[in-house]
A and B are shown apart, each in its own frame.
Chain A
Amino acid sequence: MPRAYIPKVVTANALLEGDVIYQTATGWSRNLAEAEVLTDEADADLRLIDASQQHDRVVGVYLADVDISGPTPKPTHFREDFRARGPSNYVHGKQEAPKHV
């Protein structure tokens, strides 16, 4: 029996600011809660290709696993958790703008 596909989001860094960003249905957001969740592998691959071609806006595009058991997607790995929230040593970066977290 094939393994269940783990839902994904397309993530990258913004070209100009370097900020962590997530692909939405219509563009990019700094807020993981607004990311487009991809539950189908073929769709995810297509969205990844689409994002990877946006050289003038984003850098380092890849797919990240998310947990969708709650109302908004949550990272499944601690690295993605830090990317979504910002560094844990100071309240700075994304933590300065709670609406982005």
Chain B
Amino acid sequence: MYNYTDFDTAFIKERNAQFRAQVERRIDGSLTEDEFKPLRLMNGLYLQLHAYMLRVAIPYGTLNSRQMHVLADIADKWDKGYGHFTTRQNIQYNWPELRDVPDMLDALGAVQMHAIQTSGNTIRNVTADHFAGAAADEIADPRPVAELIRQWSTDHPEFQFLPRKFKVAVTGSPNDRAVIKAHDIGLRMVERDGLAGFEVIVGGGLGRTPMIGKVLRDFLPREDLLPYLEAIVSVYNLLGRRDNKYKARIKITVHENGLEDFGARVEERFALIRPQFTGVDQQMLAAIESDFAAPEFRSAPDTEYQDARRHYPAFRSWADTNLSEHRAPGYAIVTISLKAHGATPGDATSAQMRLMADLAKRYGHDELRISHEQNVILPHVHKNDLPSVYSALRAAGLGTANIGLISDIIACPGMDYCALATARSIPIAQEIATRFDELKIEHDVGPLKIKISGCINACGHHHVGHIGILGLDRAGVENYQITLGGDHTQDATIGERAGPGFSAEEIIPAVERLVMAYLDLRSELGETFLDTYRRLGLAPFKAALYPEARANAA
């Protein structure tokens, strides 16, 4: 993984010192809140419902055991002993005190981490496939490119005051695990005639006006990436609406100007600035790539793994559910569920963080990843080590075998923490997971993505959930709307609104009716919820959701 240069280290140190002085000036009254707010946001510090919240970047979701240990130490020393992993591969601390934040940032800086550009109208933390460098279906590791984009965008003088926040995601696999079509810019690594390049997707996003991104270039040569990105963001910076924050994202810019016109402006700008990129960026990329060299995988039979599968049903269930195919023979990708039934999705205690770090160090080539689905990944584990890994995870409450199942729910912090939220998300996720655990049908239901947002900004990605739930405030009461048929993959689709919303008391039974209807409707055991929905459409699911409407019509 990437190691800071002397320049990076000095930059972070100087930036933290600058922020420390700004905090001191806020506390002694030299800065008003109006003056201080943009400065704290530039360093990832929000003021939420109950407390400050510090959002720390985990670039492309990659970290090592030492970094994870420091995240745990920070949780213990300056927060309440836990951290919350988010849908953008960040970690958030929900309870820091203002005067402690500079110390937190220094602790992060000591392990090459920071909170810069995790807030504000700028290019945010670059995200990537959480199986990067490990997945069997990967064309190339997207992380060196993501790191290049991070270096290019961090404190880029032209892009510190964009019309709105700007999010870039990269995948190196044809199977999209990075939700690239719901980002301002999505990059998919492709090969054409032996040349490496990118499919460039622009103008995707969820929120108030959900849109699936459009292909701006079906093939962009690798060496043109940075100038082309710079051209896109420059055109957006110029054309993006600043009169209305709800129309300021690039998806609206592309929609209002048309893809063709927008693309023509990008090409014009690209032609102008391309000569300024004389190859230094490619030299940097080559250096970064050497930092991401694959670990040395060992060659050994997986006898112990096979034995454990035969003798321990709980291990077999976990292995069948939480492992993914690795590109190296004998290895597996482990997804550690942060979704124990009834737990807060994405939360990990400091003890759990330390355990995951230790497992990565001992069994996983010292690598961890955070997924946009709020789980933690050990990307490289030899199969013979899996019984030991599982045993340790289980003892720490991290052995839940539910990846991709109904209780593996994305849920934004909602009104339990977030100042913008209009309803709670987490308790709904907790109750759904608990209910289906009680029913013991989770594995029978099979792959099903429920995604919950506590407001229209859609941090919980509800639009692309197979079952999406949006919490709203209806006349002072929490109300939950359901969307169906959303998909976050390479076949990205915005879900269809099912009908009127449900109260907090009604939403869990409503989801249960939906799932029971699916079990009745599926044509065969292997037909997933999404397949069934696509085959039959909204009507039978709507009938399950609103049985009283059917009764009244009869």
Interface residues, chain A, CB within 8 Å of chain B?
A: 13, 15-20, 55-56, 59-60, 76-79, 82-83, 86-90, 92-94
Contact = CB atoms under 8 A, between A and B. Distances in A.
27 contacts: A13-B47, A13-B51, A16-B98, A16-B99, A17-B97, A17-B98, A18-B48, A18-B97, A20-B49, A20-B50, A55-B33, A59-B33, A60-B33, A60-B47, A76-B476, A77-B476, A78-B478, A79-B49, A79-B473, A82-B424, A83-B50, A87-B416, A87-B417, A89-B416, A89-B427, A92-B80, A93-B95
A77 B358 CA distance: 45
A79 B415 contact: yes
A78 B50 contact: no
B32 interface: yes
Given A59-B47, A89-B416, A89-B430, 13 more contacts: A15-B33, A15-B98, A16-B97, A18-B51, A18-B95, A18-B96, A18-B97, A20-B50, A55-B33, A78-B415, A78-B478, A93-B50, A93-B95
Contact of A19 (B26, B50, B80, B415): B50
B344 interface: yes
B546 interface: no
B52 interface: yes
Interface string B40-59: 00000001111110000000
A98 to B, nearest CB: 16
Contacts, number: 72
Interface in B76-106: 80, 95-99
Contacts of A86: 50
Contacts of B478: 78
- Greatest chain B CB density within 10 A among A18, A76, A77 is at A18
A61 to B, nearest CB: 10
A60 B29 CA distance: 16
Nearest to A86: B50
B536 interface: no
Nearest to A61: B33
B426 A89 contact: yes
Contacts of B294: none
B300 interface: no
A82 B476 CA distance: 13
A79 B415 CA distance: 7
Contact of B415 (A56, A82, A90, A94): A82
Given A55-B32, A79-B415, A93-B95, A88 B424 contact: yes
Contacts of B95: 18, 93
A92 B82 CA distance: 11
B195 interface: no
Contacts of B50: 18-20, 83, 86-87, 93-94
Interface of B: 26-29, 32-33, 47-52, 80, 95-99, 344, 415-417, 424, 426-427, 430, 473, 476-478
Contacts of B49: 20, 79, 82-83
Contacts of A13: 47, 51
A13 B417 CA distance: 13
Nearest to B99: A16
A55 B49 CA distance: 18
Contacts of A87: 50, 416-417, 426
A25 to B, nearest CB: 24
A92 to B, nearest CB: 6
A11 B430 CA distance: 30
Contacts of A90: 344
B550 to A, nearest CB: 31
B27 A15 contact: yes
Contacts of B32: 55
B420 to A, nearest CB: 11
A19 B50 CA distance: 5
B325 to A, nearest CB: 34
A74 B28 CA distance: 34
3 closest residue pairs by CB, A with B:
A87-B416, A18-B51, A18-B52
A90 B426 CA distance: 10
Contacts of A82: 49, 415-416, 424
Contacts of B430: 89
A78 B477 contact: yes
A83 B419 CA distance: 10
B454 to A, nearest CB: 11
Contacts of A16: 27, 97-99
Nearest to B53: A18
A16 B100 CA distance: 9
A78 B476 contact: yes
- Greatest chain A CB density within 10 A among B28, B52, B473 is at B52
A91 to B, nearest CB: 11
Contacts of B26: 15
- Greatest chain A CB density within 10 A among B48, B51, B98, B477 is at B51
Contacts of B99: 16
A56 B32 CA distance: 8
B161 to A, nearest CB: 23
A19 to B, nearest CB: 7
A56 B27 CA distance: 7
